[in-house]
Structure 1
Amino acid sequence: MENQLSIEMRKDFRIIILQFQILRLNQSLKNNTGRKIEKNQEVSILETSAFDENHDQILSVSGYLPMEDNKQYMLFLEPNDSEKGPAVGSFNIQGVVMGKFAFEKDNNERHRLEDRETKHYEKVHSRAHKKMIGELNEKYGDYLED
């Protein structure tokens, strides 16, 4: 992750910062989005979280936590269909929490990131997420960077 773009919204006297991550893609394993995506291309990802400055807290959908800087993730993306505003041309993470997986080469760091994320999930989501990360490691583990 190289940059983060925050959009400030004021609604009912609350300041909410929407999170957009601008990522450089290491690899595209499959692309059925209808958009051209190339290796090392920068893409904007709308994360399903926001920061409420008035209450100093993260607001999220289904326990989603923003991605950490300088970490690798495997993402399942879908195009954002917004026609106006800051989300134009961006991507959403599919299935909110089921489309983002820590993909660090270092096992301890990968487990730390996954534990941080899944501790907020309901048990059924946590089990499904852990099963999926195991399958992704088995299938795509060779893509981890040295």
Structure 2
Amino acid sequence: MRLAGKVAIVTGGGSGFGEGIVKKFVEEGASVVLMDRDEAAAARVSGEAGDKVRPITGDVSTLESFAAAADLARSAFGGLDILVNNAGVAQPPLPLETMDEGLFDRIANVNMRSIYNGARAVVPHFKSIKSGAILN
């Protein structure tokens, strides 16, 4: 069990790669806070993965969601060691002049701002324990 005793936050853990990451981390001994915007998906994966997973509904484009996930990790599992920034959105290529600002903002917020917000939420804790890992 390579992750025994470790605590992780996995964004986008309610489906796809994120779901696989959550289940593999648990299999390897970690406790996981599963953050996803889809409450039902997060609950489903959490139920399947067992008592070492706590779901939380959140929006990766906000610092508040990451702070809530970090607080849950510490209160439920006694710490935080790993942040996996898995959540992302994809958009088929389209001409720049046809992309509206709202779509651009959504992609930028989920795929870029989330990395910044996640780091802001966990780096102070990681510095205080002189350890921690962020996987993007």
TM-score scaled by length of structure 1: 0.27
Structure (1 or 2) with the greater strand fraction: 1
Structure (1 or 2) with the greater helix fraction: 2
Relative contact order higher in (CA < 8 Å, ≥ 6 apart): 2
